[in-house]
Amino acid sequence: MLVYHTSDVMLTAPDTVHSRRNLDIGKGFYTTRLKEQAVKYGERFLVLGKDAYLHTFEYAPCLSMRIKIFDSYDEEWLRFVCSCRKGGTEYGQFDIIEGGVANDKVYRTVDFFMAGIYTLEQALQQLVYHKPNHQICFITQNAIDVCLRLSDCRKINI
């Protein structure tokens, strides 16, 4: 399957070293199956006057990897994302995590839940209205090395 990653630099060998902490599903190398989503993400670099590169990878899941898949915006997903955003390290028990993105619309609900404005029930009631976007986070370098192969890299232009 093809997955996409957008960056302000051209990558030859992705790694987990340069990833940021406290993201949706942990520290790792983020990709998506949704090309349009990756291109849209690249626009943030262009707005800042930077270059944007769309990387296309061949992703072949390996059964020996510890893979976690969140199929929906449910309680398990919400608690996991909140923990990761607070600096939790539960993500470290997996090699690859796949699930929904806490994008602009969903992030408000996550933020309100984390701040105590929404109860768990209120947050889940809000999340039920949103169809998950998509992300795959490669947590370990081994997962990147074994499962991903760069097939193309193109500069994004608007």
pLDDT in tens, 9-56: 999 899 999 888 888 999 999 999 999 999 999 999 999 999 999 999
Provide the pairing of β-strand 67-69 with 96-99.
parallel
Can you say whether residue 111 is alpha, beta or left, with left for phi > 0 and alpha for psi between -120 and 50 degrees? Answer: alpha
Q: Closest Cα to residue 27, out of 95, 121, 116, 73? A: 95
Range of the domain at 30: 2-155
Mean pLDDT (the chain, rounded): 93
Model confidence over 80-112: pLDDT tens digits? Answer: 999 999 999 999 999 999 999 887 779 899 999
Provide the token pair at 74. 């449910």
Residue 152 burial by Cβ neighbours in a 10 Å radius (0-12, 13-18, 19+): exposed
Model confidence over 43-59: pLDDT tens digits? Answer: 999 999 999 999 999 99
pLDDT at 151: 97
C-alpha pair distances (Å), 73 with each of 17, 28, 47: 28, 20, 30
Counted domains in the chain: 1
- Band (133; pLDDT cuts 50, 70, 90): confident
> Is the pLDDT score of 158 beyond 80?
no
- Band (132; pLDDT cuts 50, 70, 90): confident
- Band (130; pLDDT cuts 50, 70, 90): confident
| Residue 151, amino acid | S
Beta bridge partners of 55: 5, 153
Q: Closest Cα to residue 107, out of 118, 96, 98, 97? A: 118
DSSP secondary structure string, 24-84? TT-SSEEEBS-HHHHHHHHHHHHHTT---EEEEEEE---TTS-EEE--SS-HHHHHHHHHH
Element (H, E) at 9: none
What percent of the chain clears pLDDT 70, i.e. is strictly above it?
Answer: 100
